[in-house]
Amino acid sequence: MTRSSRPKGTQDFVPPESIKKTRIEMLFRELATVYGYQEVVTPTFEHTEVFIKSSGSASDIVQKEMYTFTDRAGRNLTLKPEGTPGVVRAVLENNLRLPCRLFYISPCFRYSRPQKGRYREFYQLGVEAIGESSPLVDAETIIFGATFFTRLGITEFTIKVNSIGCRHCRPAYREKLLTFLREKQKKLCPDCQTRMEINPMRTFDCKNTSCQLLLNDAPLPKRHLCPECTAHFEEVIDSLKSTPFNWKLDEHLVRGLDYYNRTTFEYVSGVLGAQSSLGGGGRYDYLFEEFGGPVTPAIGLAIGLERTILALPEGSPFNTASRRNLVFIVWTGPAEMAAARELLNILRQENIPALMTYEPVRVKRQFHLADIAGARFCIIVGEEELKGNLYALKDLITGEQSIVPAEKIVPTFSSLRLSSERI
Ligand code: HAM
Please, which pLDDT band fits residue 138 given cuts at 50, 70 and 90?
A: very high
DSSP-assigned beta bridge partners for residue 390 = 405
Distance of CA 258 to the CA centre of its chain: 21
Whether residues 268 and 327 share a domain: the answer is no
Ligand 1 pocket test: pick from 258, 267, 307 the residue with the most ligand atoms within 8 Å of its Cβ.
307
| Chosen domain end from 317, 338, 361 | 317
**What's the CATH number where 24 sits?**
3.30.930.10
Atom of ligand 1 nearest to the CA of 267: 10
| Chosen domain end from 269, 300, 317 | 317
Whether residues 90 and 231 share a domain: the answer is yes
Whether residues 301 and 383 share a domain: the answer is no
Whether residues 402 and 339 share a domain: the answer is yes
- Which one is predicted more confidently, 205 or 283? 283
Domain that holds residue 162: 17-169+225-317
Whether residues 249 and 290 share a domain: the answer is yes
Q: Is 110 in the pocket of ligand 1 (CB under 6 A)?
A: yes
What pLDDT does 422 receive?
Answer: 66
Whether residues 259 and 360 share a domain: the answer is no
Q: How many domains, the chain?
A: 2
158 located within any domain: yes
Whether residues 103 and 249 share a domain: the answer is yes
Whether residues 370 and 343 share a domain: the answer is yes
- Which one is predicted more confidently, 55 or 154? 154
Instruction: Report the SS3 class of residue 7.
Output: coil
Please, which pLDDT band fits residue 347 given cuts at 50, 70 and 90?
A: very high
Percent residues over pLDDT 90 in the chain: 85
* Contact call for residues 312 and 319 (beta carbons, < 8 A): yes
Query: Mean pLDDT over residues 313-342, rounded?
Result: 90
pLDDT one-digit tens code per residue, 144-197: 999 999 999 999 999 999 999 999 999 999 999 999 999 999 999 998 998 898
What pLDDT does 321 receive?
Answer: 65
**Which amino acid does the sequence have at 340?**
A
Residue 291 pLDDT > 90: yes
**What's the CATH number where 411 sits?**
3.40.50.800
Atom of ligand 1 nearest to the CA of 119: 20
Give the largest Cα separation in the chain, rounded. Answer: 91
Lowest model confidence (mean pLDDT) among 35-49, 185-199, 328-342: 185-199
Whether residues 298 and 368 share a domain: the answer is no
Report d(CA 155, CA 245) in Å as an integer.
9
Q: What does pLDDT average to over the chain?
A: 95
What pLDDT does 272 receive?
Answer: 87
**HSE (CB half, 13 Å, CA atoms) of 422?**
9
Whether residues 137 and 112 share a domain: the answer is yes
Please, which pLDDT band fits residue 100 given cuts at 50, 70 and 90?
A: very high
292 CA distance to ligand 1 centroid (A)?
25
Whether residues 134 and 267 share a domain: the answer is yes
Whether residues 367 and 238 share a domain: the answer is no
